[in-house]
């Protein structure tokens, strides 16, 4: 019923997880930031992927589900100050720029793969903490579950605000979302607006961020494949960013733990205590 295959796509090892009965699949590229590059349900692919950026090792991949760690978003001037020292960090952190290690695969009552990223001296130049991050991707029927473990192996508390950047395949920019959020911040004019006014991304260059959802879930339909997508996420994720690019057939629906530039703002950082872990989940399902 559940299968796991490994194959080469040019220079990258790809792990493909299958639920044969449900005709669902998941493809993971550990060497490409540990990211998911495909997720299909009942024969229908949900995700957008620009293969050209995937194959360019020095490019940020446009598509799939990139991992954002230890930060989501950008830092002002690409830098932040911590304990009196200034560090530089790229947009969305460092995890997506390093190869992850496969540490486990299983295909009993579900198909799963666990990938791991451990800090090294190069990473410490931008994030001065010892850490180990483990992601377990679980495929079962029409649902993808991502179990995240963020381990702080330092002697000091570790700040972070991870997130996800799923690219859903659709040409539609004006979607209807099922969410209990009442307001959003429009990064195009930096004004807070009512969700009831609509969340049309058609002429938006920058993101819209849902501010005050109580229920940790959001749903929407992908019209081309007539699938309703539901995303659920742990209490640690405070916001959902909505973003697209003009002329590109994708829509990004992104749970984040804090807003952009938080390592400079320092108002809602998530801290992991020394020698402890934070464990949380996100699920994406489609019917």
The mean pLDDT value for 136-144 works out to 98
Alpha-helical regions (H) of 188-281: 262-265
Residues 6+ apart with CB under 8 A from 246: 205
198-203 average pLDDT score:
94
At residue 211, the pLDDT reads: 98
257, 73 Cβ separation under 8 angstroms: no
Q: Which domains does the chain have, with CATH numbers?
A: 2-286 (2.70.98.10)
The mean pLDDT of 8-25, rounded to a whole number, is: 97
Grouping H, G, I as helix, E, B as strand and the rest as coil, residue 52 is helix
For 240-273, b/e burial (b = at least 16 CB within 10 A) is bbbbbeeeeebbbbbbbbbbbebbeeeeebbebe
pLDDT confidence of residue 107: 96
Q: Which residues pair with 144 in a beta bridge?
A: 139, 284
Residue 66 DSSP class:
-
| DSSP label of 96 | G
Confidence at residue 271, expressed as pLDDT on a 0 to 100 scale: 98
Over residues 54-113, the pLDDT tens digits come to 999 889 999 999 999 999 999 999 999 999 999 999 999 999 999 999 999 999 999 999
At residue 59, φ and ψ (nearest 5 deg) are -105, 150
pLDDT tens string 260-279: 999 999 999 999 999 999 99
Confidence of residue 171 (pLDDT cuts 50, 70, 90): very high
CA 222 to CA 210: how far, in whole Å?
A: 20
Average of per-residue pLDDT values in the chain: 97
The string of pLDDT tens digits covering residues 211-252 is 999 999 999 999 999 999 999 999 999 999 999 999 999 999
Q: Looking at per-residue confidence, does 21 or 11 come out higher?
A: 21
């Amino acid at each position: 019923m559940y299968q796991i295959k490994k194959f080469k796509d040019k220079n990258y090892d790809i792990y493909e997880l299958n639920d044969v009965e449900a005709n669902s699949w998941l493809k993971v590229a550990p060497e490409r930031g540990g990211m998911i590059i495909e997720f299909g349900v009942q024969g229908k692919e949900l995700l957008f992927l620009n293969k050209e950026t995937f194959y360019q090792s020095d490019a940020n991949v446009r598509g799939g589900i990139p991992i954002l760690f230890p930060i989501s978003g950008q830092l002002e001037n690409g830098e932040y100050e911590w304990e009196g020292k200034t560090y530089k960090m790229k947009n969305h952190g460092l995890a997506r720029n390093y190869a992850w290690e496969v540490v486990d695969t299983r295909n009993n009552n579900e198909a799963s793969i666990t990938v791991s990223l451990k800090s090294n001296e190069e990473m410490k130049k931008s994030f001065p903490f010892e850490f180990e991050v483990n992601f377990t991707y679980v495929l079962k029927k029409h649902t993808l579950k991502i179990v995240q473990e963020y381990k702080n192996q330092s002697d000091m508390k570790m700040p972070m605000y991870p997130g996800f950047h799923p690219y859903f395949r659709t040409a539609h920019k004006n979607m209807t979302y099922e969410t209990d959020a009442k307001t959003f911040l429009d990064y195009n004019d930096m004004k807070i607006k009512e969700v009831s006014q609509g969340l049309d991304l058609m002429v938006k260059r920058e993101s819209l961020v849902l501010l005050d959802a109580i229920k940790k879930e959001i749903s929407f339909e992908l019209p081309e494949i007539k699938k309703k997508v539901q995303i659920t996420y742990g209490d640690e994720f405070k916001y959902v960013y909505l973003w697209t690019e003009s002329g590109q057939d994708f829509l990004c629906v992104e749970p984040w733990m804090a807003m952009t530039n938080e390592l400079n703002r320092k108002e809602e950082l998530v801290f992991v205590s020394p020698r402890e872990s934070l464990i949380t989940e996100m699920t994406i399902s489609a019917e």
